[in-house]
Structure 1
């Protein structure tokens, strides 16, 4: 191997992109893949129902408020 090839290989070896290290470690085991606590299913169901009702009702409340404001 020539001197020119050796120096080129040495430079190429050192110019490799550094490995990306992730600072987050998440264990994907059974029943641990969701960001919620599934042990109390009644509380989870209540929270989901409240969230759904509130998020679905906000546009209707806004329309009612605007109609009431326009009538006044």
Structure 2
């Protein structure tokens, strides 16, 4: 499924960004406050993506069931 693959790619990219964020914080490029704020935003985006992914899978399963009943 193309959409599921895309969700996983985006979630993987966010994990990489979060790792770079932690590295930047450890190297003192980011303050504690800014690192915390950005980390919170990334976590919120990840939660939203997981929600969309669950919704999309549910919609796809419903479409398959409806198509199967129409045959």
| TM-score bucket of the superposed structures, by smaller chain | 0.3 to 0.5
TM-score (norm 1): 0.36
Looking at both structures, which has the greater relative contact order when contacts are Cα pairs under 8 Å and sequence separation is at least 6? 2
TM-score (norm 2): 0.37
The structure having more radius of gyration, on CA atoms, is: 1
Which structure is higher in helix share?
2
